[in-house]
């Protein structure tokens, strides 16, 4: 029953990415099964669902959206005896990923619903931190409005869906004009795919052996989590024998 309530909130909000498998829900009275009287006079178990997200330093857009659309209030009205407990984390993006990982590692601290970057989905799903949402998504008519590529972002290695996407972004490539010109490229350089990026890196290596074809950096707070993205790119360069410099601080 609790899983259905969690999934219902995810569908209602459409921006809550993940549902957790950790703490099994909390009662309103220190772990006991508190009973709440419904309008009909029948008692029912009260359930508290925790919702964790990264809180912005200023006016938080998520909180503003939830309030504007009245999402939490509507959900609680439609599910008597169920209360949403907001549990924001005020931190940088990198620190948020670290703190969330610590919460998920223990059943006593794992939130029921939380937001995270999709590059963490496969790892968290494999670790048993996420609940499969396929049964609920298949019955949710709005799911058909999502692009296939966006849907794929919340799938685990088992092909199952573990969240609802909220937004997407892209990674940009900065390049040194002089280095590319010395390698024989015209500016502006506009590669169409990774093959062309690898080709350019190879030419840079051949014409300027003292230059690193690609450079990436990750702050210490981002640590292993964001290194997963960088390692995938770096591996592509290593496969063709290209040097790739990067800073990855493991914490």
Ordered by start, the domain boundaries in the chain are: 2-152, 177-247
Work out the angle at residue 172's Cα, subtended by the Cα atoms of residues 196 and 118, and round it to the nearest 5 degrees: 105
pLDDT digits (tens, 9 = 90+) for 173-229: 889 999 999 999 999 999 998 889 889 999 999 999 999 888 766 555 454 445 555
Highest mean pLDDT out of 15-19, 119-123, 242-246: 119-123
Q: Please provide the CATH number assigned to the domain covering 2-152.
A: 3.40.190
Whether this prediction's pTM lies above 0.75 is answered by: no
> Which residues touch 168 (CB under 8 Å, ≥6 apart)?
150, 153
Which among 53, 56, 96 has a CA at the least distance from the CA of 221? 96
> Which residues touch 205 (CB under 8 Å, ≥6 apart)?
211, 213, 242, 243
CA 119 to CA 168: how far, in whole Å? Answer: 12
Which among 78, 79, 1, 26 has a CA at the least distance from the CA of 34? 26
The rounded mean pLDDT for the chain is: 75
pLDDT digits (tens, 9 = 90+) for 183-194: 999 999 999 988
CA 3 to CA 134: how far, in whole Å? Answer: 12
CA 118 to CA 154: how far, in whole Å? Answer: 6
Q: How many CB atoms lie within 10 A of CB 49?
A: 23
Of 73-77, 114-118, 150-154, 243-247, least confident by mean pLDDT is 243-247
Which among 34, 137, 17, 9 has a CA at the least distance from the CA of 85? 9
Asked whether 85 and 48 are in contact (CB, 8 A), the reply is: yes
pLDDT digits (tens, 9 = 90+) for 29-72: 333 344 444 444 555 678 999 999 988 766 678 888 888 889 89
Q: How many CB atoms lie within 10 A of CB 167?
A: 7
Q: Is the pLDDT of residue 237 over 60?
A: no
């Amino acid at each position: 029953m609790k899983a259905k309530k969690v999934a219902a909130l995810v569908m209602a909000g459409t921006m809550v990415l993940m549902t957790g498998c950790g703490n099994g829900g909390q009662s309103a009275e220190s772990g006991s099964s508190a009973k709440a009287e419904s309008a009909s006079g029948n008692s029912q178990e009260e359930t508290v669902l925790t919702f964790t997200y990264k809180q912005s330093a200023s006016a938080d857009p998520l909180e503003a959206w939830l309030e504007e659309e009245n999402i939490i209030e509507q959900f609680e009205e439609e599910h008597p005896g169920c209360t949403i407990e907001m549990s924001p984390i005020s931190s940088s993006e990198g620190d948020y990923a670290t703190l969330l990982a610590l919460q998920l590692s223990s059943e006593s601290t794992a939130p029921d619903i939380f937001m995270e970057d999709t590059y963490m989905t496969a790892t968290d799903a494999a670790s048993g931190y996420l609940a499969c949402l396929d049964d609920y998504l298949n019955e949710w008519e709005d799911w058909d409005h999502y692009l296939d590529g966006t849907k794929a972002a919340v799938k685990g290695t088992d092909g199952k869906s573990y969240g609802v996407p909220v937004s997407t972004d892209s990674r940009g490539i900065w390049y040194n004009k002089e280095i590319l010109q010395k390698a024989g490229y015209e500016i502006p350089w506009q590669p169409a795919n990774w093959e062309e990026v690898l080709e350019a890196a190879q030419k840079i290596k051949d014409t300027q052996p003292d230059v690193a074809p690609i450079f990436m950096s990750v702050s210490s707070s981002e640590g292993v989590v964001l290194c997963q993205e960088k390692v995938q790119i770096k591996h592509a360069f290593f496969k063709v024998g290209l040097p790739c410099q990067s800073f990855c601080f493991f914490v």
